[in-house]
Amino acid sequence: MTDNVDKAEQFKKQNAEKSKIEERTKEDGTKEYLDEPTGEWVSKNELKTREKLRQKAIKEAEKKAKKAEETTDKPKKEGAKAVEEELDPSKYRENRIQMLEQMRAEGGNPYPHKFHRDLTVQQFRDKYEEEKIENSVFKDEKVALAGRVMGLRQSGAKLLFIDLHEGNAKVQIFANAANYTGDFDYLVRTLRYGDIIGVEGNPGRTKTGELSIRPTNITLLSFCLH
């Protein structure tokens, strides 16, 4: 009942405002109406069009403001970030140690004894750099490499770019959830800059032509604590 009363009052208010619109009659007998925001005299249809556009702009602005407020209120997603949530180095170390202890408590081994690799990063580049692999194509053959994470770039929830370094050589790891056989969300949550990893996957090139490995599995061999 209260809603109906409010709507009725709003309707009356709108009609009252409309009745206050100034009008004048031109020499040819047609009427013009004052568009107060601009101070221009326009036809009735033009005035209605302008009012509708202004109301639309107000609603769109309100939507954007509400969306921005919701985005600000949402907690940051866990995963690989350019800036760690914890900027204090001691806190970062504590958090990673706690993560390792939790892994042990759940029966996991944070430091596997060995990882068998087929090639060094430099050998991988020497072998596949000159091959005529088309962009966005990855070969069926499997390779296994190991190295240190020296770059992390997350693109959405299901795609992660990793710069894998070994000595003076570097290769891109093009990790996507669709081709990953392990727990991709866990990988994103736990992998950090400086970690040493073993990568198993397919050699190929991304759509930009970058020589890469598309991993089916990544083994965390050593966690960087600083």
Task: Render pLDDT for 141-165 as a digit per residue (tens, 0 to 9).
Answer: 999 999 999 999 999 999 999 999 9
Q: What is the Cα–Cα distance from 83 to 99, expressed in whole angstroms?
A: 19
The pLDDT tens digits for 99-143 are 888 878 888 777 776 899 999 999 999 999 988 899 999 999 999
DSSP 133-183: PPTT-B-SS-EEEEEEEEEEEE-SSSEEEEEEEETTEEEEEEEETTT--S-
- Whether the pTM exceeds 0.75: the reply is no
| Domains of the chain by residue range | 2-73, 89-222
Q: What is the Cα–Cα distance from 135 to 145, expressed in whole angstroms?
A: 21
pLDDT of residue 7: 54
CA 175, 181, 182, 183 dihedral sign is positive
Backbone phi, psi, residue 15, to 5°? -65, -40
| DSSP one-letter code for 82 | S
pLDDT of residue 71: 58
Nearest to 202 by CA among 147, 161, 160, 143: 143
The secondary element (H helix, E strand) that includes residue 105 is helix 89-105
Domain 89-222 top-level CATH class: mainly beta
The pLDDT tens digits for 79-111 are 444 344 445 666 878 888 888 888 788 887 777
